[in-house]
């Protein structure tokens, strides 16, 4: 019998329906039944093909609120950690499961206090912070039954293998593990053979229909002063589409949104100086189509997953190539078509080189 969402519990089906998932993507169709049968999984799938739900749905289906901490999900970046946490939290809400996220750059003392106060069911985090919390005896993984290593190839590329090994050694041997990766280089194969059970299943879904369809364009400029006029041209060319413009700082976000407002564009900003209520209101206006353009910093956009974004514009090229992938991935979601424009000035050459190297790895699938 082919898998579909009707085979899941009523609580999960309600959450899935709210997220707008009508039928399983290929990676979900292949991985979820095997996971529900108890197999360890090594999964290969492109970004934007629904892999978070592919490992999240089996966890949520099998964990009960009263079980305590039963699952750990590791991601290589804080942006991805927040994004994964938010989707898992939404999927889990009708089962009443408690989900939280921990990553570097935030006060570790507050993380410790949070863990002492709340009984969590699922923890999402980056390797460094999770290792830190374990070493402080704030996070006990001795009863964890499910482990997920997301973006395994990137995890290894970024040098997290020692932290990952440390964390794995703090969990029971009798656990179910999932490793998902955009590519399967030799190091990922070795990691799978070492930490997955011998009968693990390799699920490889390379479906051209579900790969992000993103047309990337570099707009080469002689100086930053040329950016605003070029931006206006793009915005007028895509006047009916939802657009996210990424900038470097809070100040940039404020100033650019004000300049666009003065030119009669429908725009809101998202940045760290805004209150949570202000951010939520801005996102609501964008989601409802009442505002067509968002000017955002990376900090404010973490976990930003809005359907129907047609265009992403990198007003400033990010130094971190993974941030570039994260940004352009806000469009072209699950097989849809999108465009990504990047303004490039001479000082961006090093950042462009790093982006090119990272993209070569992603494009190998």
- Domain identity same for 243 and 200: no
C-alpha separations of 87 from 21, 43, 192 in Å = 12, 19, 25
The answer on 240 and 114 residing in a single domain is: no
Q: What is the mean pLDDT of residues 59-69?
A: 95
SS3 149: strand
| pLDDT higher at 108 or 331 | 108
Helix intervals (H) in the chain: 10-18, 26-36, 51-62, 78-92, 108-117, 127-135, 152-157, 161-168, 186-195, 227-237, 250-262, 276-287, 298-301, 321-328, 349-362
Distance CA 214, CA 143 (A): 42
Q: Give 291-335 pLDDT, tens digit per residue.
A: 999 999 986 555 566 778 899 999 999 888 877 877 887 887 666
CATH of the domain at 188: 3.40.50.300
- % of the chain surpassing 70 pLDDT: 92
> Do 148 and 241 reside in the same domain of the chain?
no
Report the C-alpha gap between 268 and 352 in whole angstroms.
28
| 220, β-bridge pairs | 344
Residues 61 and 192 both lie in one domain: yes
Is the per-residue pLDDT at 203 higher than 50? yes
Task: Indicate the pLDDT class of residue 47, thresholds 50, 70 and 90.
Answer: low
The count of domains in the chain is 2
Q: Are 236 and 262 in contact (CB under 8 A)?
A: no
84 vs 70: CA distance, rounded Å: 16
The residue among 155, 186, 205 that closes a domain is 205
């Amino acid at each position: 019998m082919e898998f579909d969402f009707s085979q899941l519990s009523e609580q999960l089906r309600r959450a899935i329906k709210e997220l707008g998932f009508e039928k399983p993507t290929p990676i979900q169709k292949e991985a979820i039944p095997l996971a529900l049968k108890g197999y360890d999984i090594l999964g290969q799938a492109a970004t934007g093909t629904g892999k978070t739900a592919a490992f999240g749905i089996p966890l949520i289906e099998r964990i009960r609120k009263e079980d305590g901490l039963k699952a750990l999900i590791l991601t290589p970046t804080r942006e991805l950690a927040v994004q994964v946490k938010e989707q898992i939290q939404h999927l889990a809400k009708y089962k009443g499961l408690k989900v939280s996220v921990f990553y570097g750059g935030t006060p570790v003392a507050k993380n410790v206090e949070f863990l002492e106060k709340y009984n969590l069911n699922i923890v999402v985090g980056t390797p460094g912070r999770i290792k830190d919390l374990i070493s402080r005896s704030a996070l006990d993984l001795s009863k964890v039954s499910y482990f997920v290593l997301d973006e395994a190839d990137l995890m290894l590329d970024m040098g997290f293998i020692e932290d990952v090994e440390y964390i794995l050694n703090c969990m029971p041997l009798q656990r179910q593990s999932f490793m998902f990766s955009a590519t399967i280089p030799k190091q990922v194969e070795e990691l799978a053979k070492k930490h997955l059970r011998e009968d693990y299943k390799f699920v490889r879904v390379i479906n051209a229909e579900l790969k992000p369809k993103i047309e990337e364009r570099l707009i080469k400029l002689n100086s930053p002063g040329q950016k605003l006029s070029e931006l206006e041209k793009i915005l007028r060319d895509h006047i009916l589409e939802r657009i996210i413009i990424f900038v470097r700082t809070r100040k940039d976000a404020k100033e650019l949104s004000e300049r666009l407002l003065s030119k009669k564009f429908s725009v809101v900003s998202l940045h760290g100086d805004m209150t949570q209520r202000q951010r939520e209101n801005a996102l609501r206006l964008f989601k409802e189509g009442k505002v067509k353009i968002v000017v955002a910093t990376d900090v404010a956009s973490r976990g930003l997953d809005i359907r129907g974004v047609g265009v992403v514009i990198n007003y400033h090229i990010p130094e971190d190539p993974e941030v570039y992938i994260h940004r352009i991935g806000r469009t072209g979601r699950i097989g849809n078509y999108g465009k990504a424009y990047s303004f490039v000035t001479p000082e961006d050459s090093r950042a462009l080189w790093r982006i090119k190297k990272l993209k070569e790895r992603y494009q190998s699938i």
